[in-house]
Structure 1
Amino acid sequence: MARSWWLEGRRLNLSQLAEELGIGRATLMRWVGNKDLLMGEILWSLYKRIYDEAIARAEQTPGLKGIDFLTQIYEDINIALINARPMYDFLQAEPQWGLQLLTARSSGLQERLIGTWEKMFEEAIAAGDIKPEMDPQSLALYIVRIGESAIYCDLICGRKPEPGPATTAFRLLVNGHQN
């Protein structure tokens, strides 16, 4: 229900949510932990769907493998997040809290994003598809941060979100010294 509210553009009010669910606020807090963690779950559900769709598109593209496969996924995700209207509306309404949820540890989202990319890099390295100059965890952290700077740059520094430079940086970091 909280995800539906958020997708509709409604503010996440835990008291109202508990009332609509027919439970006490204390029960809701036991279920979700706190508002940041609940919002982290909502944001993760959006990201995970976008991530899964990007992988499916890349897998359906004939001949796409290695660095090109990974780069396509990264670029598709960044473009989808830039164009995600619920995300845009949320960040316009609550920019400080939104950026905190997206970029800090309070919501659990960062760990999931980094862990997801770390696993993908580990698999690609094991398969011999990429040979980056850094370990998968560091690589995942940097590409997530670069993506955030491209996706949310309108809030961070007043520039228009642009995925192109982030895609170039991704390719350079992930590809290492390969041609």
Structure 2
Amino acid sequence: MAGGARASSSSARREVAFRRATEADAYELARRMFLSGERVDMQALATELGISRATLHRWVQTREALLDRVLGDLADEYFTRARRAATGAPDDVIVAVAEGVARATIASGAISGFVRREPELALRLMLRDDASVRRVLVGRLRGVLQDVLPDEAEGLEGFAAATVQLGLLLVWPTLVAGDEPSGERVAEICRALLAGARAGELSGGR
């Protein structure tokens, strides 16, 4: 898997070499570097693209902002796959989606490698209020609520934010500690929070 991603990264770089690089190329190359297990280094990225570091920063702002976008897009992909695989009663679909995203994150060699290399940055990108991962997952989970529980969705306003926050807190710090998080535990928390939201125990959240 990693070898294939590394080959794709090299192919992307050769393609860019034959034309003028664009902002989209910068993001795509950073994403491929991340997925291949490489450290996304701004100078190396600029060199591969044949542009100055100043141009790269103008396009993507900071390295942290670039990685935030990469991680947010990966979270969206994991959610899409989990949603397609989730079947059954509405509550089961919601729980299966949460567990599926957690399991995909846990299984990602690129993410675990990133966490080991840069634990402080990884936690900041996962847990801050404006993190793309948090924003994407909360928005997508609210969409699932509208799909499968349209009559209840408004009353479950706080559920999505609470589930994402607790899921991230369970998965990411555990990865940083070098342990393996539990997708089943995420599913249990999700089901308990759903019951709490129905009982009016969760306030609305972002």
Residue in 2 aligned with 1:91? 115
Aligned-pair CA distance for 1:123 = 3.7
Residue 6 (structure 1) aligned to one of 31, 34, 37? 34
In 1, the alpha carbon distance for the partners of 2:164 and 2:140 equals 10
Residue in 1 aligned with 2:61? 33
In 2, the alpha carbon distance for the partners of 1:13 and 1:106 equals 23
Residue in 2 aligned with 1:170? 190
Aligned-pair CA distance for 1:105 = 4.1
Aligned-pair CA distance for 1:110 = 2.3
- The Cα RMSD (Å) is 2.3
Once the two structures are superposed, residues 20-63 of structure 1 have per-residue CA deviations (whole angstroms, 9 ceiling, x without a partner) of 111111221121121111101111222222111111112xx4xx
Could you tell me whether the CA contact under 8 Å between 1:132 and 1:174 is conserved in 2?
A: no
Q: Which structure 1 segments of 5+ residues have no match?
A: none
Residue 139 (structure 1) aligned to one of 148, 155, 159? 159
User: Which runs of structure 2 are paired with 1:107-146 in the superposition (5 Å)?
Assistant: 107-126=131-150, 128=151, 130=152, 134-135=156-157, 138-146=158-166
Instruction: Give percent identity, aligned residues only.
Output: 25
Residue 22 (structure 1) aligned to one of 24, 29, 50? 50
Aligned-pair CA distance for 1:116 = 2.0
Q: Which amino acid aligns with 1:99?
A: L
Could you tell me whether the CA contact under 8 Å between 2:71 and 2:132 is conserved in 1?
A: no
Residue 45 (structure 1) aligned to one of 61, 65, 73? 73
Q: Which structure 2 segments of 5+ residues have no match?
A: 1-28, 200-206
Structure 1 pair 131–106 and aligned structure 2 pair: CA distance change class (3 A): closer
Residue in 2 aligned with 1:68? 92
Residue in 2 aligned with 1:161? 181
Residue 79 (structure 1) aligned to one of 100, 103, 109? 103
SS at match of 1:152: helix
SS at match of 1:11: coil
Instruction: Return the TM-score normalized by structure 1.
Output: 0.82
